[in-house]
Structure 1
Amino acid sequence: MIILPSQITHEEAAACCRMLAQGLRSQTEAAVVADAGGLERFDSSALAVLLEIRREAAALGKTLSISRMPARLRELATLYGVAQLLPAAP
């Protein structure tokens, strides 16, 4: 499991991507879960970060699902048409 920080806005997006990608590479499981439960302050950059981590996971032969995604972020994902790319963790 990788854990998202409490804040992902435009200012933190690049550093957050690097941090999460590093965490993703250290995961031995083929199915990786990103825990978004602590995410409190975010903008659409959080979606960009999650999509980039999803691409990184796919390049590593892994899948990514999201647990505890805030409702507002799920609404943004739906609005931008990317919700199906960020499935909820089982």
Structure 2
Amino acid sequence: MLVLPAELTSSQAEPCLNMLLKAAHAESGNDVLVDAAALTRFDSSALAVLLECRRECLHDGKTFAVRGMAPHLRELAVLYGVSELLPDQQL
């Protein structure tokens, strides 16, 4: 399982994405699950990171899901019309 940090804003987006992609490529199974429960400070960059990670996982033939998304992050995903691209797994 991949884990998001407590803070993910535009200044942390690139290093966080690189870390997630490296970990996702190293996942031995076909399912990639991102735990977003620790994420408390974020902006729309968090969605961009998750969407790019999802894109790479699908390219590698893996499934992608997120669990523990903060309500505000889920609201942003709905607002931007991408919520169905980031399926939520319940904790």
Question: Considering only aligned residues, what root-mean-square deviation do their CA atoms show, in Å?
Answer: 0.8
The share of aligned pairs that are identical, in percent, is 48
Q: Which runs of 5+ in 2 are unaligned?
A: none
AA aligned to 1:83 is S
Written as runs of structure 1 = structure 2, the 5 A alignment for 1:30-69 is 30-69=30-69
State how far apart, in whole Å, the 2-side matches of 1:36 and 1:23 are. 15
Aligned residues: 90
SS of alignment partner, residue 33 of structure 2? strand
Q: Which runs of 5+ in 1 are unaligned?
A: none
**Alignment partner, residue 75 of structure 1:** 75
Please list the CA deviations of residues 45-90 of structure 1 after superposition, one character each: whole Å capped at 9, or x if unmatched.
0000000000010111101100111100000000000000000126
AA aligned to 2:10 is H
Runs of 4+ in 1 over 2 A off after TM superposition: none
